[in-house]
Structures are given as structure tokens and as C-alpha cells.
Amino acid sequence: MRKLPHVLTAWLVIVLLVGGILAAGVQNATAENNGLERTPVLGWSSWSFLREHPTAARIEAQASAMQNSGLQKLGYEYVNLDDFWEQCPGSQGPNVDPYGRWVIDSSRFPADGDTNGIQVVADHIHSLGMKFGIYVTPGISSQAVVKNTPIQGTPYTAAQIAEPSIAENNYNCKGMVRIDYSKPGAQAYINSWVNMFASWGVDYIKIDGISDKNVPDIKAWSGAIRQSGRPMVLDVTQGSYTQAIAPTLMKYANQWEFAPDVECYSCEKHGSSYPLTSWKDVEKRFNYVAEWQPYAGPGGFNDYDSIEVGNGSNDGLTPVERQTQLSLWALGSSPLILGVDLTHLDLLDLKYLKNTAVLAVDRDSIAARRVVNTGTQQVFTKKEANGDVIVGLFNTGSKAETVSVTASAAGLPQKEGGYSLENLWTGKMEKTGSTISATVPSHGVVLYRVRAFSL
């Protein structure tokens, strides 16, 4: 949900990535097969930091910062524009063009001659070797219905496909109503949206505000992307929805975010978006990662929302908690979409974001399962194609604790020689017998790559 508060080593990555895809391909055989997102996407989105104030200059500055910081070389490549790119005059819904589609706010995204402001930004991002994403919500603007705008390339109109009495989720502008996809012209309307985006150079579409009742919208946007001929990731985010539509998501979408926003809106001070999140907002994800584990794999991934690591104390997390967020998301093979200000990166946070051993865990495309959930202790594990097992030992409590799991419970074969443990955050190597254990700080994690060896 994108809602403003009312008050308020590189080679190792490649090796493990290939192996991970082979291992995970069986896991999600029904996933969207449009050739995209065989591994979780990495990138940045405007919502957490810029919120309701995106502009062309600000988006381009973030893209340049992602390149200059070295993050692009590690795979961070998507620059996604969230809400507030469109004209919103009020609760009557977004302004619309002659075919009932949202109109660009040219005061934020000025045109350059005959090139509209969004395409100008997309062209700039592409010139940097990156990809561009954009935001929409389901339905059709009430303004299109009132004006009864024609649907491009058809004899049909907006009023003929709309259900004006049923509001759709549009958290900030409002005024979107449901589309009846049984009506002629409905699919053509969504096709016209996607064809427009394709002409702008869009590589990623986020459709926000989805509930269980929006299955027809998911199918329509997926079909529209296919007919456009341009590869575009389809990201479906919540409003909220349940596991009841997981089969639809797996078949038609590339990633899906079902959890409440990770941003801590009630924590923000002095009109800024800082602090970006809080420990409580991150902690909620443990159960989501466990519950949605069966649905993720190449072609479609569980999205646990923005990574709020990059701005030091403004993240709203301690350094230990930042390692925990990155570790949990990586274990879940979630997209890593940064929500921070890339133009003011904290050096320690940048080091965390560039940890190739942790990135390899995310990019294996395997979602970890939870094997321990006892009070303040949680353990997630997943097995790689080469037999290595990734083990995340988490302590959600208020003081340091020893967190343990047996090798068998972690999915390791019995070996008389024991096991080697590589701490992926410190690089330290250890050996152990039948138990994998560590002293874990409060709200912290010890993330191991475990290998069996013989005497």
C-alpha cells in the first residue's frame, strides 16, 4: 500500500546465481514465463524518500548516484518512479488524456520539445544503462467516465466499461472506479495504457492497491504487456490481498508485495520522510517470509517492500537491524528495491549494500523456509544447487541470545567430519559438529553459508 499518513566477491554472485536458478526452477513451475525476473530485481524506488515530491531532476539525480556509487555494477539497475507523476486535481480522480489515461504533471516532469517529461526521464535512465519503472493503480479515473472518453482504437467508451459505484484503491489521489472486464473495450483500454508506457520506454509497471477482487486487473495488465511486444516487469502491490490469489500472482505477475508498507509514517519528523522505517515494521516481515515461501521462484518473487538501508541513522534502524533486514530479504529472495536517498549514502550502509556474499543469497532465486520459531529466536534455511545451505540465525529479543539449529533440521547431510561455517557479514570461517549456533545480538542476525566436509 502506497498511502500517505492522514496526520502526519562479484564472480561468486554469478556462479551462485546460475546454480540457484537450476535449483529453484522446480520450485515455482507455474510462475510467469515472460522471460523476465529469473532472479529478483535490484534497484531503487522514489516512494520512501521522495514520497509526494518526485521531479525529473530528482529521479535523474538518484539514477546518477546509483551509478556513481558502484551499485549499478553489482546489479542494481531499476529506477522506479512511484506515485505523484500524474496530475491530480482532487477526489474526482486523476486528470485524463483524450483516451482516459492519466496525464503527466508537466510542472514536475517537463517535456523537451515533442518528448514528454516521463519519456525524457526514461531516456536519461536508459542512457546510463539502467531500466525505468512507473506506477499505476487499478481501474479507470472517474474523470474519464464523466467525459465518456473513447477507448483508443475501438468504438467503445469509458462509460461502457466502468462500474462507477465501485471505488478502487488509489490512496493519494482517489477517484478511480472499477472496470468490468466482461465488457467489450475493457482489455483494449488497458492495452492502450501499456502501449503508451511502451512508447515512453517503460521497463517495469507497478500496479498498486490490489485486493483479492482485482484478479481481473492482474490478468488484464499481464495480457496487455504481452501484446505490447515490450518486455516489462509486472509488480503487483497490495491493498490488501491474501494467499487466495497466490496462484494468479504466480501465473501473471513477476513480483508481488502483500505486506503493509515498511515505512514508519508515524515516526516521521519535521515534515520529512525520516526516519524511513522502524524495527517494528521490519520485524513484521518474519511471518510473511515464512508464510509466502511456497510461492516464490524464478519468474515471480515475494516482495517484502523497500530496503531502508543507505542513509545511516535516518534509516530508522541500527546497523545490526540493517543487516537483519538485508539478510531476511535475501533469504526470501525478495526484490531489493532501495527506498533511500542515494545522493547521500552512508559509507557503512553502502558497504552492506555491496556485500556480494549476501547478494548471492538473494540472487539464488530460492525462498528460504523457517525451521525455528521459538519466542525471540527464528532460523531460516535454504539449500543451494551445489549442496551448500544458507542459515540465518535471528534474535528478535531485547538482549543477546545464543541461537541454534541442528544440521539435520537445516537440511544438511550427516557428515562425520562436520561442517564449515562462513559468516557472510564478517567473512570469518569456523567449523562445527552437529549443531549450528552463534551468539546473536539483539535484533541481529548471523548469516552463514554452511558446507559439509569429510575427515
CA distance 393 to 402: 9
pTM above 0.85, yes or no: yes
Q: What is the pLDDT of residue 242?
A: 95
Tens digit of each residue's pLDDT (9 = 90 or more) over 280-330: 999 999 999 999 999 999 999 999 999 999 999 999 999 999 999 999 999
CA distance 126 to 173: 29
CB 393 within 8 A of CB 445: yes
CA distance 428 to 263: 33
CA distance 419 to 454: 9
Q: What is the pLDDT of residue 13?
A: 38
| Domain spans in the chain, listed from the N-terminal domain onward | 10-367, 371-452
Tens digit of each residue's pLDDT (9 = 90 or more) over 388-398: 999 999 999 99
Query: In this prediction, what percent of the chain has a pLDDT beyond 70?
Result: 92
Our measurement of the distance from residue 347's CA atom to the centroid of its chain's CA atoms, rounded to an integer in Å, reads 23
So what's the architecture of 10-367 in CATH? Alpha-Beta Barrel (3.20)
Under the banding of pLDDT at 50, 70 and 90, the label for residue 35 is: confident
Our measurement of the distance from residue 256's CA atom to the centroid of its chain's CA atoms, rounded to an integer in Å, reads 7
> Distance between terminal CA atoms of the chain?
53
Q: Using H for helix, E for strand and C for coil, what is the string for the chain?
A: CCCCCCCCCHHHHHHHHHHHHHHHCCCCCCCCCCCCCCCCCEEEECHHHHCCCCCHHHHHHHHHHHHHCCCHHHCCCEEECCCCCECCCCCCCCCECCCCCECECCCCCCCECCECHHHHHHHHHHHCCCEEEEEECCCEEHHHHHHCCECCCCCCEHHHHEEEEEECCCCCCCCEEEECCCCCCHHHHHHHHHHHHHHHCCCEEEEEEECHHHHHHHHHHHHHHHHHCCCCEEEEEECCCCHHHHHHHHHHCCEEECCCCCCCHHHCCCCCCCCCCCHHHHHCHHHHHHHCHHHCECCEEECCCCECCCCHHHHCCCHHHHHHHHHHHHHCCCCEEECCCHHHCCHHHHHHHCCHHHHHHHCCCCCCEEEEEECCEEEEEEECCCCCEEEEEEECCCCCEEEEEECCCCCCCCCCCCEEEEECCCCCEEEECCEEEEEECCCEEEEEEEEECCC
Mean pLDDT of the chain: 93
Q: Which CATH superfamily is domain 371-452 in?
A: Golgi alpha-mannosidase II (2.60.40.1180)
Contacts of 282 (CB under 8 A, 6+ apart): 262, 317, 321, 324, 325, 328
CB 398 within 8 A of CB 413: no
Mean pLDDT of 357-386: 97
Mean pLDDT of 260-275: 94
pLDDT at 386 over 50: yes
Q: Can you tell me which residue has the cell 556480494?
A: 356
